[in-house]
Structure 1
């Protein structure tokens, strides 16, 4: 199994200031200091034997301070020589497709033969859409225009594109990529709703989890997606999954990791649903997020206990067993672990990462990744998808 590391910075301690809208003073810990610690952690990834470095895309808050992931990964391309790079995710509606195709091609050059694993999403937080000037209610339209445009660009000497949003005249992508024609053939998409899953399958995208639900829900999501794919005559897909990791020598020490994880869920709740958020009311395609925003139970607490069965937080042996269970349930093929989050001190994050690399990583990399029955679509459901 391929095992990568998400390298991104979270200024967890700044949420009290942001939620109070106390902008007359700076963060207690500067973003620069926070990112220096994040960069330090990133420097450990290749020497410790991991397979890839991953980045995400966010704007404006203390949650995952990571704009343009391709810029960030270009830095890591120059700092490393062996590991692949991955995006989890590029938010497609926030990009001009010609610019995106150029930047993907350039990063492929900088990687000198290593691979870029592309994960793409459409974004959630209304404040990010508003600050960037894109209409959130048209996110699906923008998303698929961008995806189909970069497909048209990949491998073409010259291409045009006539989409709903973008009309691209005859254009060439330069520098031409090393893996020209094969840059975008295995894109994974982040989605949560059945309609988004249907659109992703229809457009030939794979599946990426950017959060961990309980095991039954995760299995059902993969099975649903593969049922839709089967109905379209497509083979089953194996997901790339991002999980929150804290590796400790004892179960008592690992409990600290669960507190950092809970802190991270609260930060996500602030970023997506509370801070600087005008709400999801009336936004087509975001009805599920409206339900979450208006639920009586906070997003951070909903299902927290169930996630103890899916997140790789625990002793090395416990983590290995969890990953084995996930592989059987969802046919997991590629695992990406978050290692520095929720206000975790850098020294504890480093200790956790080193222990995982020593005791867990070899076992994970040796794990076979078959497609298992639990994640396959049902033939009768496939027929229903094909003949509704």
Structure 2
């Protein structure tokens, strides 16, 4: 099993100084590289302090100069917010200055609130159409001159400048629905998935959809399949409680954005009381501890082995959950030292 890190610059409130946030985020990336992680992922989000990522490629450029070996991925560049020529060139530049370490992840986007500001009039549920038009164009631009006359973008002959260093940049698609799995297999992409806080059965569903898409495509493509879960390792009750309090607070803000149902002031989403939500059993502390990658090193090892047996060959350690910086780093170091050796 290979291991990847998803890490955001994040603030749950304005008590944290942005310089400390940036320093901590980079330190987490460097800890992951030192510990043997394969890839680190940056997101794209806009006008939200809980995920400070206005340009994932700019973040990767920063990390590239502060690391040596870890591969650098976008999870994900939101297709509808970009022009193909712009995205192709910026992604290729990251590959160039990093010595060929780019992993290119593209997706549809997450929150309707962001679409209302970045692409007014577009429903989040329709954004997959932009992603499906964008990806073949990006790959063509990386190869040389191409003109495009599509539904969403039209341009005369152009190319990506610069070109990627890698002959074939690995491409990843974030998938949770059959239509996306089918597209990823047709286009020979790798897949990452995020079951949110849902139980193991959700991962089983994604694996079933992946297997069906592989069979349907019937093109010989066998993708890398990575699954993401929020992670926190601890070995005492105080740290356990701190982790559960942090993730539940984060989820109360996430629900605001996911349902587009609450205020966002100066970039900070208001917390929606979890006991007021339908389906609030999804945020029960015991359920969260069971479903997420929470627990002692031995507990986490057993959880990972269950995913490995399912066919998940890569795990994405999602570090950003509003936990204090020392606790985040303590957890990641524990994972590197006590969990990863079991899978080498």
Instruction: Indicate the TM-score class for this superposition, using the shorter chain for normalisation.
Output: 0.7 to 0.9
Residue of structure 1 in register with 2:108 after alignment: 122
Q: CA RMSD in A?
A: 2.5
Tell me the SS of whatever aligns to 1:245: strand
Alignment match of 2:139 (pick from 151, 174, 178): 151
Q: 1:222 aligns with which of 207, 213, 232?
A: 207
- Which stretch of the first structure deviates more once superposed, 233-242 or 63-72? 233-242
SS in 1 for 2:4: strand
C-alpha distance in 1 between matches for 2:288 and 2:193: 14
Tell me if the contact between 2:226 and 2:313 (Cα under 8 Å) persists in the aligned partners: yes
In the alignment, which of 42, 50, 53 is matched to residue 63 of structure 1? 50
**Residues 134-175 of structure 1: CA deviation (Å, up to 9, x unaligned):** 542352332222112112223x23222222111231112222
Encode CA deviations 1:112-140: one digit per residue, 9 max, x unaligned: 13x32222210131121121135423523
How far does the alpha carbon of each residue in 1:175-219 deviate from its partner, in whole angstroms, 9 at most, with x for none?
A: 222113x01xx4222232333434444444332113443111211
**Is the contact made by 1:152 and 1:160 (CA closer than 8 Å) also made in structure 2?**
no
Paired position in structure 2 for 1:89: 76
Match of residue 376 from structure 1: none
**Structure 2 unaligned regions, length at least 5:** 265-275
Is the contact between residue 127 and residue 276 of structure 1 (CA under 8 Å) also seen in structure 2?
Answer: no
Instruction: Give the CA deviation at 1:57.
Output: 0.8
Q: TM-score, normalised by structure 1?
A: 0.77
Aligned to 1:336: 316
Q: Offset at 1:45?
A: 2.5
- 1:28-67 superposed matches below 5 A: 28-67=15-54
Task: Give the superposition deviation at 1:35.
Answer: 3.1
CA contact (8 A) 1:310 1:326 kept: no
Aligned twin of 1:363: 342
User: CA distance change for structure 1 residues 249 and 308 in 2, over 3 Å: closer, same or farther?
Assistant: closer
Q: 1:217/1:341 Cα in 2 relative to 1: closer, same or farther (>3 Å)?
A: closer
CA distance in 2, matches of 1:223, 1:236: 14
Counterpart residue number, 1:9: 9
2:228 maps to 1:247: no
Using a 3 Å threshold, how does the CA distance of structure 1 residues 102 and 11 change in structure 2: closer, same or farther? same
Q: Are 1:131 and 2:120 matched, yes or no? A: no
Question: Do the aligned partners of 1:245 and 1:313 also contact (CA within 8 Å) in 2?
Answer: yes
1:179-198 alignment, distance < 5 Å: 179-180=166-167, 182-183=168-169, 186-198=170-182
Residues 103 and 164 (structure 1), Cα distance of their counterparts in 2 relative to 1, 3 Å cut? same
8 Å contact kept, 1:119–1:208:
no
* Number of the residue aligned with 1:98: 85
Structure 1 runs not aligned, ≥5 long: 15-26, 278-293, 367-388
Distance verdict in 2 for CA 1:317–1:251, change over 3 Å: farther
Matched with 1:257 is 243
CA distance in 2, matches of 1:140, 1:357: 35
Match of 1:379 in 2: none
How far is 1:100 from its partner? 0.6
